[in-house]
């Protein structure tokens, strides 16, 4: 018996994303030193949209965001990110639901 193991990257590949150029729905507010929660986004975002740049700042590339709300739970209340739903017709397009 063979067990198929699928990776999250293979599943994410099934989704499509319509980019709203110049109008990202998530923005990281300017910070001198990222908080623990902001740093956590570089590890817990399922689409890996957050990364640490060479200056030690957390940046986001919203292209590919699954709009799961993880970043909202961790950082929106503190004001570290600004999150809005994408404009109609833009954002993630789930292939299987």
For 10-52, write each residue's pLDDT tens digit.
766 677 777 888 899 999 999 999 999 999 999 999 889 999 9
User: Structure tokens of 85?
Assistant: 């739903």
> Is residue 65 scored above 60 in pLDDT?
yes
Q: Is the CATH code 3.30.70.20 the one for domain 22-93?
A: yes
Query: What pTM does this model have?
Result: 0.78
In the block, tokens 């198929």 appear at: 4
Handedness of CA 37, 51, 58, 86 (dihedral sign): negative
Q: Where are the domains of the chain?
A: 22-93
């Amino acid at each position: 018996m063979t067990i198929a193991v699928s990776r999250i990257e293979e599943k994410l590949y099934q989704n499509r994303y319509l980019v709203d150029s110049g109008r990202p729905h998530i923005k990281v507010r300017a910070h001198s030193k990222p908080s623990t929660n902001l740093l956590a986004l570089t590890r817990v975002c399922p689409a890996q949209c957050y990364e640490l740049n060479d200056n030690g700042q957390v940046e986001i590339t919203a292209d590919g965001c699954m709009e799961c709300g993880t970043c909202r739970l961790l950082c929106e209340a503190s004001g570290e990110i600004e999150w809005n739903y994408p404009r109609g017709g833009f954002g993630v397009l789930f292939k299987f639901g």
